Structure 1
Amino acid sequence: MPHQNSQLWFHIIWTTKNREPVFTREMLVHKLAPLLILISKENEIDLLFMNGYKEHLHCLVRLRSTQSIARVVQKLKGVSGRRINEQCWFPFEFNWQVGYSAFSVSPDRVPTVINYIKKQWDKHQKMDFSSELNYLEQNSHHHQPTT
């Protein structure tokens, strides 16, 4: 079969080193999102949606049949971290924390996950990151996050 179709969706989350709260809402929208979109295009990564909060980032990615989740995350984190430092976003050396969390997403749940990722700033007025991650880990079998 010459044509390959992949519906392998993943909700990927990673944090800044030591969970330092370095990002503002404006920085995520106007700097980090465009940077990740560019990195995705350069590396043929299907990044459908991203958003985050002060110390962490959520991405919804569709893996191509030739990609591994580890390699996609390595590219997104590695290249973005390097470019953030090259462009001197901060008066210190920026780093992402080692590791990430990834949750598979059924194609019919993609709109729900996008909505969940969209509401990060509102949600984190009521829930800290550790609580969010615990919730997602406990409910990853169907990934029906609350809004």
Structure 2
Amino acid sequence: MADVFSQLYIHLVFSPKNREALINSDWEERLHKYITGTIQERGHKLLAIGGMPDHIHIFVGLKPAEAISDLVKEIKVASNDFIKNEKLSKFKFEWQNGYGAFSHSRSQIDAVCKYILNQKEHHNKKTFQEEFVKFCDDFGIEIGRKEFFEWFD
């Protein structure tokens, strides 16, 4: 059997249910470390992780043996359990069902990593909704009749 050669870089974006700002800066780093471990245990490579209280960005080098949807599901389930078991949030914490997955080329790795690691700065100028809609536009993703995140302003 021949070996598999792949180069898959995926930028994931998702939010707590109802896009609530529940990711507290007091425990955000612990959450990021936990998610990093989940990704690595599944054989993927974490390139960057960051976000805001109302959403998270994860950039991974994806191994082709696992579907993106399966990885996202595992990240959400495991991190949700971690938040509950560690009693990190005083509020009920759940991730929204939807997510964004955007592919990038090798030449874009540095720019995407810098973008994710500088989320606080980016969101001084742009809301999460504006950011996500721009991603969809930039990647030619037609939102149309798809079920979209629940935006509460």
TM-score interval, smaller chain? 0.7 to 0.9
Q: 1:62 and 2:79 equivalent?
A: no
Q: 1:19 and 2:26 equivalent?
A: no
Structure 1: which 5+ runs fail to align? Answer: 142-147
**Whole-Å Cα distance in 2 between the matches of residues 47 and 76 of structure 1?**
12
Number of equivalent positions: 140
**Whole-Å Cα distance in 1 between the matches of residues 45 and 74 of structure 2?**
12
**Whole-Å Cα distance in 1 between the matches of residues 134 and 64 of structure 2?**
29
Tell me what 1:101 maps to: 100
Structure 2: which 5+ runs fail to align? Answer: 141-153
What is the SS of the residue equivalent to 2:125? Answer: coil
The superposition leaves residues 52-72 of structure 1 with CA deviations (integer Å, 9 ceiling, x where unpaired) of: 101100010121121111011
Deviation at 1:134, TM superposition (A): 1.1
Deviation at 1:105, TM superposition (A): 0.5
Q: Which amino acid aligns with 1:47?
A: L
> What TM-score does the superposition give when structure 2 sets the normalisation length?
0.85
**Whole-Å Cα distance in 2 between the matches of residues 26 and 115 of structure 1?**
22
**Whole-Å Cα distance in 2 between the matches of residues 134 and 102 of structure 1?**
13
Contact 1:45 1:72 in 2 (8 A): no
Deviation at 1:26, TM superposition (A): 4.4
What is the SS of the residue equivalent to 2:6? Answer: coil
> What TM-score does the superposition give when structure 1 sets the normalisation length?
0.88
The superposition leaves residues 44-96 of structure 1 with CA deviations (integer Å, 9 ceiling, x where unpaired) of: 23221110101100010121121111011111111111111111111232100
